[in-house]
Structure 1
């Protein structure tokens, strides 16, 4: 089967299975690069792809400067594509299965209290000075992520009907495509009530969506990323990336540092697999620090 037709068939299959638009775009970009690489190297049929071709492509990406995490993501996309070819009986075995993932350095950036206050104070000043809806909206986006660990796509799709002020909870469609409930603290509940009142006064009515663009239409993924691009430029932090995911990591970091159990963190972060949660707990949890303070061999030495 011609590779270009197989690639199109695979993308159509992902769309038919209602894969998120974000994942479809990732396949088009990351898997598309592999297809182009094969074509440039005169590999035109799916049946001609060998383990060596996959490995050589990933080495090519490495030489271009791709980090281990990016290379592993590309390998996952290639494996998914070739698994589909096996399902369609185009090939008997997936040649990418024997290609190993690269070992990646585990470093997860989080914000310090000083950085968080710096960002929030920036938006407070702009809002007071200009009575700016955009500054208040961006301030609240940060507050909501820090208070719930909500994901980027969930921010965009959040509706006022999803906010239960009485029971202090948010409802979102998570990665599992299921409606999930997230508890809110009293502080976050009060902040959202005040923001809703501001929106009513500003626009004369409340939009269906909690966060909107300047023209009061639903926020898009691109417009949300522009929010963080602008904030990144204003803050100019050198040791941490200003992004929605960094705020989510910060939420998880504070839970782990507080001593919260891995099970509770998993529920709040809505990780499908607790091994993901354990990665954070192992990195940040305070249990290891407490055990070290108690049993360290230096404790019994007269120094």
Structure 2
């Protein structure tokens, strides 16, 4: 039988041929690296050594040793299922080695970032920007504003280029969206002005405009883990107790649209949800905060 690592390479080559996105391919590469390290520790090198018991043992290790949460565990299992299904289709295994391994139950409610927490983060960044005037403080300030003001996903921000920003039309073109369809995101006047100011800052600071919107001081595009580390450091610096991540800013964007009175169809289009049912879920998730809007605009005011 063939070695696991050899089959992984064949699997990736086939997925690339099928047109899998670079982000999806990278997810497999990163996963295989971790999985192969664990398999080596267990002395498992060949395909015939894979079975549901091994799969469960690996996921338990991820949970107990790496402290992975259910969502991360389930993501790993999805990747393993795709590889196991491919091996089975190629008749390299009698049954998928993930057969019978179930997903963990997740808390699917979006993590809520309060307006106060976001204000505290922006206040901190403005203070650092005034005091230190560093490249990272200026970049991070714009990064937070863009995420909160556009609802862009982390992967979309990582792939964002200045060529994708149309200031004349106040639109951002999304080259690699979750749905893999060409999409565009409108820019508010305030966010457009902030991006123009940031563009001017980069040209003066670096002597040129980098291809990517968010880069290191050397002009290299920021990667996912770098942006996630920005959030971790900010959370610690500000002393936030709540969740704070790129996705919480996307949730904040959706929540504020709903609180501001946008209808469901408008929010669906701005959030780029493929189904309006996904948008509807947010009403229940943010019901306690939407109550504040109800109190401020009480239909019974003046009647009682």
Correspondence for 2:86? 84
Correspondence for 1:170? 172
Secondary structure at the counterpart of residue 98 of structure 2: coil
Correspondence for 2:239? 236
CA distance in 2: counterparts of 1:215 and 1:33, whole angstroms: 29
Secondary structure at the counterpart of residue 273 of structure 2: coil
CA distance in 2: counterparts of 1:94 and 1:12, whole angstroms: 20
Correspondence for 2:118? 116
Judging changes above 3 Å, is the alpha-carbon distance between structure 1 residues 56 and 254 closer, same or farther for their aligned structure 2 residues?
Answer: same
Secondary structure at the counterpart of residue 171 of structure 1: strand
CA distance in 2: counterparts of 1:200 and 1:39, whole angstroms: 48
CA distance in 1: counterparts of 2:158 and 2:147, whole angstroms: 12
Is 2:53 aligned against 1:68? no
Q: CA deviation at 1:134?
A: 2.7
- Retained in 2: the 8 A contact 1:262–1:281? no
When the two structures are aligned, how many residues end up with a matched partner?
Answer: 291
Judging changes above 3 Å, is the alpha-carbon distance between structure 1 residues 238 and 208 closer, same or farther for their aligned structure 2 residues?
Answer: same
Correspondence for 1:8? 9
180, 183, 190: which is aligned to 2:193?
190
CA distance in 2: counterparts of 1:245 and 1:269, whole angstroms: 12
Q: CA deviation at 1:111?
A: 1.9
Secondary structure at the counterpart of residue 108 of structure 1: coil
- Retained in 2: the 8 A contact 1:31–1:77? no
Judging changes above 3 Å, is the alpha-carbon distance between structure 1 residues 287 and 35 closer, same or farther for their aligned structure 2 residues?
Answer: same
Q: CA deviation at 1:262?
A: 4.1
Correspondence for 1:144? 146
CA distance in 2: counterparts of 1:55 and 1:222, whole angstroms: 27
Secondary structure at the counterpart of residue 94 of structure 1: coil
Q: CA deviation at 1:148?
A: 0.6
Is 2:212 aligned against 1:209? yes
113, 132, 142: which is aligned to 2:134?
132
CA distance in 2: counterparts of 1:84 and 1:260, whole angstroms: 44
Q: CA deviation at 1:144?
A: 0.7
CA distance in 1: counterparts of 2:285 and 2:11, whole angstroms: 38
Correspondence for 2:301? none
Could you tell me the TM-score, scaled by structure 1's length? 0.78
Q: CA deviation at 1:22?
A: 4.4
Secondary structure at the counterpart of residue 172 of structure 2: strand
279, 282, 287: which is aligned to 1:280?
282
What is the alpha-carbon root mean square deviation over aligned residues?
3.4
Secondary structure at the counterpart of residue 184 of structure 2: strand
CA deviations over 1:80-126 (Å, ceiling 9, x no partner): 00111133232354353433222222343232122111111222222
- Retained in 1: the 8 A contact 2:81–2:96? yes
CA distance in 2: counterparts of 1:55 and 1:151, whole angstroms: 31
Judging changes above 3 Å, is the alpha-carbon distance between structure 1 residues 200 and 52 closer, same or farther for their aligned structure 2 residues?
Answer: closer
Judging changes above 3 Å, is the alpha-carbon distance between structure 1 residues 87 and 288 closer, same or farther for their aligned structure 2 residues?
Answer: farther
Secondary structure at the counterpart of residue 155 of structure 1: helix
Secondary structure at the counterpart of residue 111 of structure 2: coil
Structure 1 residue runs without a partner (length 5+): 294-303
- Retained in 2: the 8 A contact 1:259–1:285? no
CA deviations over 1:36-90 (Å, ceiling 9, x no partner): 6666667655356444443454445445444322222222111100111133232
Q: CA deviation at 1:152?
A: 2.0
